[in-house]
A and B are shown apart, each in its own frame.
Chain A
Amino acid sequence: MAMADQTNVKLLGMWASPFVRRVQWALSLKGVISYDYVEEDILNKSSLLLELNPVHQKVPVLIHDGKVICESLVILEYMDETWKGIPLLPHDPHGRAMARFWARFSDEKLEPNAWTAMCSEGEEKEGALKRAIEAASKIEEQLIKGRRFFGGDDIGYLDVAMGWVACWLPVWEEVGAMSIVDPARHPRITSWAGDFLSHPLIRTNLPPKDEMVDYFHGKRKRIMAH
C-alpha cells in the first residue's frame, strides 16, 4: 500500500502533555508505527524545540521529511491529508465543520477552565470550575446519541481531540479535588470516555496514571506558589 514515508517522522513531545498524546494517537491510527520521539524537558527546553517552534516554544512539534508542523490540531489535519488509510475527519463538509468546531470549543472553553480550576483556589477556582462544567454540559447536549464515538463506529479526529477528557481530566479532577464531568450530569461523555479508553489503539497508548497524578500535583504546587 502506498504510504508516505514513515521513517522520516520525528515528534518532539512531553509524556504528560495531552496535546502531544493526540498526535501519538493519530500516528497510531494512521499506522505510522516507527518514528523518532524526543522527550522535551519543559523546564529546560532544547535548542531544537526553540528553533523549530520559535513562536510558541511548545510541544508537540511534528517533523515530517524535514517539514515542521506545530499546534496539535494543525498537525492532526496535516496527518489526515498526508497519510491515507483510516480517515480522521469525516468525508462530508458539514461533519468536518462540526468536528473542527467542537475540537476548538474543547480547547478554548473546557481545557483552559479545567486547568485553571485545578491550579487555583477561592473565587478564581469557583469561576473556572463553573465555566468548565458549563462547557462539559454543552458538549453533553450536543453529543450524538446512539453512536459510540464522535467519529461514528470508530474513533476519528474529534475523539482524538477530545481524548484528553477521558484521560487527563479525571487526573486534574483528583489533583484539584473537584468534579467537572460527572456520570449523573454527563452520562454520554462518561460512556464515550470508557469506550475511548478501551479502544485497542488507545489503551496501550496512555500515560501512567499514578505518575500523572504526581506530576500534576507538582505542577499545581509550583503554579500556586507564585
Chain B
Amino acid sequence: MAGGGEVKLLGLWASPYVMRVQIALSIKSVSHQVLEQNLEEKSQLLIQSNPVYKRVPVLIHGDNISICESPVIVQYIDEVWSSSGPAILPSDPYDRAIARFWAAYLNDKWAASLRAIAAADNEEAKEAAVEKAAEGLALLEGEFTRSSCGRHNGKGFFGGDCIGYLDIMLGCFLGWVRLIEKLDLVVLVDESTTPGLAGWAERFCSDPAVRDFMPETGKLAEYAKKFFPKYKNPKMLL
C-alpha cells in the first residue's frame, strides 16, 4: 500500500523500544497518531493488534496492518517510506549486516544487563550487572571507532553523517542509562571509559529527530520507582 493509510503508534513515553519507532517516524516525516498505553490495564486495541506479545510498540498502518517488535517496525518504516528522508539502514549489504548484528546483540544480550543494574538489590549483584553492561559498551565503543575512522573528525553517528539503524537501537536507552548512572552512582558512558560513545550520545540526544522523545530524567525516575523497588528509597531521590 506504500505510504498511504492512517498511521497509529501504540506507545509508552518511558519505553526505549517505543522511542525507536518514534525516531524512525520522525526521520521519515510520517504523520501519525500516538496512543499512549497503560500496560497495567491493557487496551483491547493493544491485545488485538499484538496478540502474541501484548506489548508496545505496535505500529498500526491503515486498516489491516499491525507491525510489532521495534526492530521489525523500524525496518518496515524504512522500507515503506523509502522515498522520504534519509535511509535508516545503510545501503551496502555488509554494512546492513553489521548494523543488524549489533542490534541483535543489544536486544538479546545488552538490554538485559542494563535492566539487571536497575533490578539489583545488593552491591554484588549491581557490580556484576555493571560489569556486563560495561563490557557491551566497550564492544560498541570499538564498533563506533571502527565505523567512524576515516570520517572527518571521527564524529557523526554509527550510520555516518545522519542517525541510522544502530544509532536508534542503542541511543533509545540513553534516558535510562543516564538515570541509572545517577541513581546507582555508576559510570556507563563517559569521556574516560567510552570517549567515542560519550560524544556520540550528546549528538544523538540533541538530534532533531530524537530531542522530543528522550524522557526527562525526573519524570523517568518517578516511573522507575514503580518497577524497581530500590529506587523508592528516599536516599535515592534526585
On A, residues with C-beta under 8 Å from B are 55, 67, 69-71, 73-75, 77-78, 81-82, 93-94, 96-97, 100-101, 104-105, 138, 142
Residues in B with CB closer than 8 Å to A93 are 76, 79-80
Interface centre among A69, A77, A93, A100 (most CB of B within 10 A): A93
CB nearest neighbor in A for B108: A108
Residues in A with CB closer than 8 Å to B27 are none
A105–B72 Cα distance when bound, in Å, is 11
Q: A101-B69, A104-B69 are in contact. Are A71 and B96 (CB under 8 A)?
A: no
Q: A55-B105, A96-B79 are in contact. Are A77 and B100 (CB under 8 A)?
A: yes
> Quick check: A105 and B52 within 8 Å, CB to CB?
yes
**Inter-chain contact total with CB atoms closer than 8 Å:** 58
Which secondary structure dominates where chain B touches chain A?
helix
Q: A101-B68, A105-B52, A138-B52 are in contact. Are A96 and B97 (CB under 8 A)?
A: no
CB nearest neighbor in A for B73: A97
Residues in A with CB closer than 8 Å to B1 are 94
Residues in B with CB closer than 8 Å to A104 are 69, 71-72
B93 beta carbon closer than 8 Å to chain A: yes
Contact of B101 (CB < 8 Å), options: A74, A81, A101: A74
A105–B101 Cα distance when bound, in Å, is 17
A70–B65 Cα distance when bound, in Å, is 31
> Quick check: B101 and A70 within 8 Å, CB to CB?
yes
CB nearest neighbor in A for B100: A74
Nearest 10 interchain pairs by C-beta? A81-B93, A93-B79, A78-B97, A97-B76, A74-B100, A69-B97, A100-B72, A67-B94, A97-B67, A93-B80
On B, residues with C-beta under 8 Å from A are 1, 51-52, 65, 67-69, 71-73, 75-76, 79-80, 93-94, 96-97, 100-101, 104-105, 139
> Quick check: B68 and A75 within 8 Å, CB to CB?
no
| CB pairs A–B below 8 angstroms (24 shown) | A67-B94, A69-B97, A69-B101, A71-B104, A73-B100, A74-B100, A75-B97, A77-B96, A78-B93, A78-B96, A78-B97, A81-B93, A82-B93, A93-B80, A94-B1, A97-B72, A97-B73, A100-B75, A101-B68, A101-B72, A104-B69, A104-B71, A105-B52, A138-B51
Residues in B with CB closer than 8 Å to A81 are 93, 96
Residues in A with CB closer than 8 Å to B68 are 101
Given A55-B139, A77-B96, A138-B51, 7 additional A-B pairs, CB 8 A: A55-B105, A77-B97, A77-B100, A97-B73, A101-B69, A101-B72, A142-B52
A97–B76 Cα distance when bound, in Å, is 6
A78–B104 Cα distance when bound, in Å, is 14
> Quick check: B79 and A71 within 8 Å, CB to CB?
no
A55–B71 Cα distance when bound, in Å, is 20
CB nearest neighbor in B for A4: B93
Contact of B104 (CB < 8 Å), options: A74, A82, A96: A74
> Quick check: A78 and B94 within 8 Å, CB to CB?
yes
A96–B100 Cα distance when bound, in Å, is 15
CB nearest neighbor in B for A142: B52
A74–B99 Cα distance when bound, in Å, is 9
Q: A81-B93, A96-B79, A138-B52 are in contact. Are A71 and B72 (CB under 8 A)?
A: no
* B9 CB to nearest chain A CB (Å): 15
A81–B95 Cα distance when bound, in Å, is 11
A94–B65 Cα distance when bound, in Å, is 7
A32–B18 Cα distance when bound, in Å, is 39
* A78 CB to nearest chain B CB (Å): 4
A138–B72 Cα distance when bound, in Å, is 18
* A30 CB to nearest chain B CB (Å): 13
Residues in A with CB closer than 8 Å to B75 are 96-97, 100
Contact of A96 (CB < 8 Å), options: B51, B76, B96, B105: B76
